[in-house]
């Protein structure tokens, strides 16, 4: 691999590895630029590039977009895509580039609609940039797809005659944090206080918990039993997702992968391989055949 960009610095730094292997040093010896922040990535001109910008997963785009420090440290998916693709286009040789909006999946597992839409929009920005950079080329195939559905988010009609549906959906735009950030901040509070929890949710998600809702969340954080007949949702993210859904109109069937058919789009040479109904495991086979 010539270009690797994302999170996971803890897997490359010898300080974080049980075997103390210095992978950053090994990549440097192999001729790669090894960078740890957005400016380093944008300044690099080396065809070989390793960039790891956080110890674990990259933050959700929603959290990054509301945090100037993160914005300065961590590139967007569009910027990483541009950095990688520009190298391959300039080299003008055969290449395979995978760009993954991986945290769309994580947000769905968390029943976090604001986090999910933020990731989807960031992925759309990356796709738009790739299409712009490859426009007019008859030798580059672009395939956009997903490996599975997740948790089945759906927009429900809200209010009498569904008249409140748009208003409640718009509330998502006022949410400033992912559920992941809410849970992380709440984890620092030793004793569950319904009032503090209500204030935390209002500050980050822009809606106010009712008394019973705050108490139920306190119970579920403490692993106390609550009345929830859908065991998929019998967890903090499932309960908070249901409560948020009363304000946004978004409902969820669970917190795990689903069997829905997913869209696959292709533009470029041999795009017909991906038309119609395609078994998702066949996509790999098509790539292998095309690469020879």
pLDDT digits (tens, 9 = 90+) for 8-40: 999 999 998 999 999 999 999 999 999 999 999
- 191: three-class secondary structure by DSSP: coil
Q: What is the mean pLDDT of the chain?
A: 95
Per-residue model confidence as pLDDT tens digits over 169-209: 999 999 999 999 999 999 877 688 899 999 999 999 999 99
Q: Cβ neighbours of residue 172 under 8 Å, at least 6 residues apart?
A: 113, 114, 117, 248, 250
Residues 189 and 179 sit within 8 Å (Cβ to Cβ): no
Place domain 3-151+257-291 in its CATH homologous superfamily: Alkaline Phosphatase, subunit A (3.40.720.10)
Per-residue model confidence as pLDDT tens digits over 253-266: 999 999 999 999 99
**Averaged over 222-244, what is the pLDDT?**
93
Beta bridge partners of 13: none
In which residue ranges of the chain is CATH 3.40.720.10 found?
3-151+257-291
pLDDT at 281: 86
pLDDT at 191: 82
**Averaged over 133-143, what is the pLDDT?**
95
End-to-end CA distance of the chain: 18
**Averaged over 145-158, what is the pLDDT?**
95
How far apart CA 104 and CA 117 sit, in angstroms, is 8
């Amino acid at each position: 691999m010539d270009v690797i960009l994302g999170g996971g610095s803890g897997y490359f730094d010898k300080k974080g590895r049980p075997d103390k292997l210095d992978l950053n040093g090994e990549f440097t010896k192999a001729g790669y630029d090894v960078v740890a922040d957005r400016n380093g990535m944008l300044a690099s001109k080396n065809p070989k590039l390793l960039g790891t910008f956080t110890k674990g997963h990259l933050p959700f785009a929603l959290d990054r977009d509301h945090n100037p420090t993160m914005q300065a440290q961590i590139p967007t998916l569009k910027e990483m895509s541009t950095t990688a693709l520009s190298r391959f286009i300039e080299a003008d040789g055969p290449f395979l580039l995978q760009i993954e909006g991986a945290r769309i999946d994580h947000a769905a597992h968390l029943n976090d609609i604001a986090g999910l839409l933020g990731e989807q929009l960031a992925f759309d920005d990356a796709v738009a940039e790739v299409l712009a950079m490859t426009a007019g080329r008859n030798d580059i195939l672009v395939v956009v797809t997903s490996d599975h559905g997740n948790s089945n988010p759906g927009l429900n009609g809200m209010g009498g005659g569904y008249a409140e549906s748009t208003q409640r959906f718009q509330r998502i735009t006022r949410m400033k944090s992912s559920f992941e950030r809410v849970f992380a901040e709440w984890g620092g509070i030793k004793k569950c206080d319904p009032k503090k929890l209500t204030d935390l949710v209002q500050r980050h998600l822009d809606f106010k918990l009712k008394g019973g809702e705050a108490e139920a969340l306190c119970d579920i954080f403490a692993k106390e039993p609550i009345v929830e007949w859908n065991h998929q949702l019998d967890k903090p993210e499932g309960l908070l997702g249901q409560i948020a859904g009363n304000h946004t109109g978004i409902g969820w069937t669970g917190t795990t992968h689903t069997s829905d058919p997913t869209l696959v789009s292709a533009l470029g040479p041999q795009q017909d391989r991906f038309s119609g109904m395609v078994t998702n495991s066949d996509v790999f086979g098509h790539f292998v055949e095309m690469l020879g």
